[in-house]
Chains A and B, each alone.
Chain A
Amino acid sequence: MKKDRSEKQAQAGDQVRIYVPDSRYSANPIEAIRELFKEVWSFRSHIAAMFGAEFRSSYRGTVFGVFWNFALPLVPLSVYILLVNLRVFPVYDGLNPAIYISFNVTIWSLLTGLITLPIMVVKSRNNESTRTAQPISVAVLASFARLFFDTFVRFALLCILIVLFAQWPKTNLLMLLPILLSGMVLCFSLGLMLAIFNVIIPDVERVVTIMLQYGVFVSGVIFPLGGLGPLKVLEPFNPFNVYIQALRDEVFFGHIANHAAVWSWAGVALLLFLMSMRFFYVMERRIRGIT
């Protein structure tokens, strides 16, 4: 098969690159994943440099400096913790409300970030991408560095809360990691697909934003879906709810309640991952410059 621009620049001196229209069409999902991985790997220094530059530029010129990078991710959590202190939220699942909400919001922010960031990055970088040979996948991954940093900061606060309220977890790491990974893969795959569709049909981003704003209330983030009466039936069909509940159960109780729902969604995640990787790989260069 003819090679596209996915070859490693650093090794380009040893290679022949051929650019032909739609050369990526013949790639299967595994080839697409391999090529995307190679592409990202070859730009790993650039991703690190981009993250560092973005990290510094986000506080450059401010009085409090790097403090903002730690404070801003905690703002959503702090709002909920404030409400907890006002005794707005009852105790769910035997967990302290502050821990319950902080945990859920941390996971929710991570999962939804994996959907919204690709959409935002592909849209904002699409025009610029016609002026650089840098793949959009690199910009998407660089944006995740910030998401993961924010998640880490929120997780640190969660740990402090756990110590503070002595709510000791009974984490089953063996199960926790695959579930978390599966949820992230599902959301990342959705994000990549929607990012491409959003370039072609710009309404996609708005629809996603609205759905996520409503979605936070029907995903067991602030209160369990069971509290919404008839909407309880949605529990296994809302992947956010399934993953948040399963992860919470795994962290604090060491087991999950609904195996079938979790592993069904894990299957969907794998399927979507394969589809989205190929779709993104094929479309990434085709959508360049569409504004």
Chain B
Amino acid sequence: MSDPIAPDATLPMLQVKSLGKLYSRRPKDMRKRMSKVARNAFFNIGKPEIRELYSGEFWAVKNVSFDLQRGEAIGVIGLNGSGKTSLLRILAGQILPDAGEVIIRGSSAAMIDLQAGFQQNAPGRENIFLRAAALGFRRKETELRVDEIIAFSELGDAIDAPLASYSSGMRMRLAFAIMATVAPDVLLIDEVLAVGDFRFRQKCLAKMREMRARSAFVFVSHSMNDVSTFCDRVIVLHKGRVYFEGPPAEAIEVYESLDQGIPTKDVPQQLAKAMGPVFENPDALAGVAHFWCDEKGNEVEEVKFSDPLRLRLKFRSLIDVRALSIGIPVWSINRHYVTGLSTQVTSDTFDIEAGDDVDIMLEVAPGFLNPGVVKSMLTVLDGPEFLYRQPNPDLVIRSAKHPTWGSITVPHRFIRRDKGPAQSKGAPVVIPLNP
């Protein structure tokens, strides 16, 4: 095995790339998969690959990507079962991912489960040593911090009572006090703060703010107030996928729209409003099908950032179309109108006569649209007349090898004017300026 890699202070503390975790609703399926894994491991015949899912299996977390810098706090919100805790457990190293990668630069500690790592029959004081030992602290090191931990937890004499006699709030106080004293580089905090009373929760949040100078936080909560006041940006997880990523206020809006039962396949109401009306003219176009596809024209739901985007449009024209114009306005999930793809830009023209079975493919150069969910609309016109206007299926753009900001990445490069172009270590960031 290689030696640990020395961390680079300029790199993110936490990098999550296309993370996935497979679960099974039926233990039978999980055992079946594990049998294969065990067989391969026992006979050392290579890594087992996930080629297909068994009927009861599903991705509890899929394609989740984000970066976290020192001093940053990212919130993760979502409905119950959306994959928040699974994501956090993977980040904490408690379970292995089935896809993707997590890179943590520095120490980390997780507050996910208040029962875990504690001895129920032992007093709180002894549990301080146990928990601290699990975080890598020796007894003598912990002894120096015990008074501070007890003082922060405000448990008083109860610290010598068995943990089994503690309420959830008392456990949370103890767990948080230990973690705050240990002060790791990356803190992963699940819903646990919710069990504390208002005053202590504020004390925890204040302590976390104090720790922000040197730590990074992943904060899972159902308290939108805590999320909005503490986090710089927020991820909305839905069915294991990143449904939205952006500023807290917008994320909370998206979350609330999910919470109000808006069908998950539908875009949030405000986005739907931004995307405008839909329209069909069955007397002009029949059998219209449009979907994102690969180079062979097969439908896809996601593409790599570095792959071209392709959209296929098929229909039977029932009329002669004299001035066909196709437009595809594109939005990000947070309602930003990102760009428009149009035959008016490419100057492509097509002669279409009544009875033609038309099959058109749009191809977009790779590396423009940043990772996330792409919302778009297909608009077909004959001159000024709308023939068709309906949303395209969602397209997920998977994470890039390099960091991205905003909704798009425009072609760019840096030139050192005294010596010539900058030397790039890896592949060029994006497309050449003069294709």
Q: Are B121 and A45 in contact (CB under 8 A)?
A: no
A9, A19, A200 pick with most chain B CB within 10 angstroms: A19
- Determine the distance from Cα of A7 to Cα of B121 in the docked complex, in whole angstroms: 30
Q: Closest Cβ of chain A: how far from B93's Cβ, in Å?
A: 4
A259 at the A/B interface (Cβ < 8 Å)? no
Q: Are B122 and A57 in contact (CB under 8 A)?
A: yes
The A-contacting residues of B in range 232-289, CB under 8 angstroms, are none
Proximity bits, B132-162, A CB within 8 Å = 1, else 0:
0111111100000000000000000000000
Stretch at the interface among A147-155, A160-168, A275-283: A275-283
A289 at the A/B interface (Cβ < 8 Å)? yes
A255 at the A/B interface (Cβ < 8 Å)? no
Question: Which residues from chain A contact B42 at a C-beta distance below 8 Å?
Answer: 275, 279
Question: Which residues from chain B contact A11 at a C-beta distance below 8 Å?
Answer: 4, 136
Q: Are B4 and A16 in contact (CB under 8 A)?
A: yes
Of all chain B residues, the one with the shortest Cβ separation from A196 is: B38
When the two chains form the complex, which single residue of A15, A17, A20, A283 contacts B41, counting CB atoms closer than 8 Å?
A283
When the two chains form the complex, which single residue of A12, A18, A275, A289 contacts B103, counting CB atoms closer than 8 Å?
A18
Q: Closest Cβ of chain B: how far from A146's Cβ, in Å?
A: 14
When the two chains form the complex, which single residue of A20, A49, A131, A283 contacts B116, counting CB atoms closer than 8 Å?
A131
Stretch at the interface among A21-29, A96-104, A116-124, A220-228: A21-29
Q: Are A289 and B122 in contact (CB under 8 A)?
A: no
When the two chains form the complex, which single residue of B2, B95, B105 contacts A288, counting CB atoms closer than 8 Å?
B95
- Determine the distance from Cα of A154 to Cα of B138 in the docked complex, in whole angstroms: 31
Of all chain A residues, the one with the shortest Cβ separation from B96 is: A285
B403 at the A/B interface (Cβ < 8 Å)? no
Q: Are A18 and B116 in contact (CB under 8 A)?
A: no
Q: Are A290 and B30 in contact (CB under 8 A)?
A: yes
Q: Are A200 and B35 in contact (CB under 8 A)?
A: yes
Q: Are B119 and A57 in contact (CB under 8 A)?
A: yes
Question: Which residues from chain B contact A79 at a C-beta distance below 8 Å?
Answer: none
A128 at the A/B interface (Cβ < 8 Å)? yes
Proximity bits, B286-309, A CB within 8 Å = 1, else 0:
000000000000000000000000
Question: Which residues from chain B contact A282 at a C-beta distance below 8 Å?
Answer: 41
Q: What number of A-B contacts does a CB cutoff of 8 Å give?
A: 174
Question: Which residues from chain B contact A197 at a C-beta distance below 8 Å?
Answer: 38
Of all chain A residues, the one with the shortest Cβ separation from B122 is: A53
Q: Closest Cβ of chain B: how far from A187's Cβ, in Å?
A: 19
Of all chain B residues, the one with the shortest Cβ separation from A285 is: B96
- Determine the distance from Cα of A282 to Cα of B104 in the docked complex, in whole angstroms: 21
- Determine the distance from Cα of A278 to Cα of B102 in the docked complex, in whole angstroms: 23
Q: Are A45 and B139 in contact (CB under 8 A)?
A: yes
Q: Are A200 and B130 in contact (CB under 8 A)?
A: no
- Determine the distance from Cα of A9 to Cα of B137 in the docked complex, in whole angstroms: 9
Q: Are A53 and B94 in contact (CB under 8 A)?
A: no
Question: Which residues from chain B contact A53 at a C-beta distance below 8 Å?
Answer: 119, 121-122, 126, 130
- Determine the distance from Cα of A1 to Cα of B3 in the docked complex, in whole angstroms: 9
- Determine the distance from Cα of A129 to Cα of B129 in the docked complex, in whole angstroms: 19
- Determine the distance from Cα of A291 to Cα of B24 in the docked complex, in whole angstroms: 11
Q: Are B103 and A133 in contact (CB under 8 A)?
A: no
Of all chain B residues, the one with the shortest Cβ separation from A281 is: B41
Q: Closest Cβ of chain B: how far from A176's Cβ, in Å?
A: 33
A88 at the A/B interface (Cβ < 8 Å)? no
B89 at the A/B interface (Cβ < 8 Å)? yes
A43, A53, A132 pick with most chain B CB within 10 angstroms: A132
Q: Are B126 and A21 in contact (CB under 8 A)?
A: no
A13 at the A/B interface (Cβ < 8 Å)? yes
Question: Which residues from chain B contact A287 at a C-beta distance below 8 Å?
Answer: 34
Of all chain B residues, the one with the shortest Cβ separation from A1 is: B1
Q: Are B104 and A17 in contact (CB under 8 A)?
A: yes
B99 at the A/B interface (Cβ < 8 Å)? yes
Stretch at the interface among B65-73, B106-114, B388-396: B106-114
Given known A56-B122, A201-B31, A285-B96, contact A45–B104 (CB-CB < 8 A): no
Of all chain A residues, the one with the shortest Cβ separation from B40 is: A25
- Determine the distance from Cα of A131 to Cα of B86 in the docked complex, in whole angstroms: 10
- Determine the distance from Cα of A2 to Cα of B97 in the docked complex, in whole angstroms: 14
The B-contacting residues of A in range 1-56, CB under 8 angstroms, are 1-3, 5, 7-22, 25, 27, 31, 34-35, 42-43, 45-46, 48-50, 52-54, 56
Proximity bits, B78-104, A CB within 8 Å = 1, else 0:
000000000001101111111111111
B44 at the A/B interface (Cβ < 8 Å)? yes
- Determine the distance from Cα of A201 to Cα of B126 in the docked complex, in whole angstroms: 36
- Determine the distance from Cα of A199 to Cα of B37 in the docked complex, in whole angstroms: 13
- Determine the distance from Cα of A15 to Cα of B3 in the docked complex, in whole angstroms: 9
Q: Are B133 and A49 in contact (CB under 8 A)?
A: yes
When the two chains form the complex, which single residue of B27, B102, B129 contacts A19, counting CB atoms closer than 8 Å?
B102
Question: Which residues from chain A contact B38 at a C-beta distance below 8 Å?
Answer: 196-197, 200, 279, 283
Q: Are B94 and A288 in contact (CB under 8 A)?
A: yes
Q: Are B134 and A43 in contact (CB under 8 A)?
A: yes
When the two chains form the complex, which single residue of B93, B106, B119 contacts A5, counting CB atoms closer than 8 Å?
B93
Proximity bits, A245-281, B CB within 8 Å = 1, else 0:
0000000000000000000000000000001001100
13 A-B contacts (beta carbon < 8 Å): A8-B136, A11-B4, A11-B136, A17-B102, A19-B101, A35-B1, A46-B130, A130-B94, A131-B116, A132-B116, A279-B41, A283-B37, A288-B94
Binding site for A on B (CB under 8 A): 1-2, 4-7, 27, 30-31, 34-35, 37-38, 40-42, 44, 46-48, 89-90, 92-108, 110, 112-113, 115-117, 119, 121-122, 126, 129-130, 133-139, 184-185
Extra inter-chain contacts (10) besides given A53-B130, A128-B116, CB under 8 Å: A5-B93, A8-B136, A19-B96, A20-B100, A25-B41, A54-B119, A56-B126, A278-B44, A282-B41, A288-B95
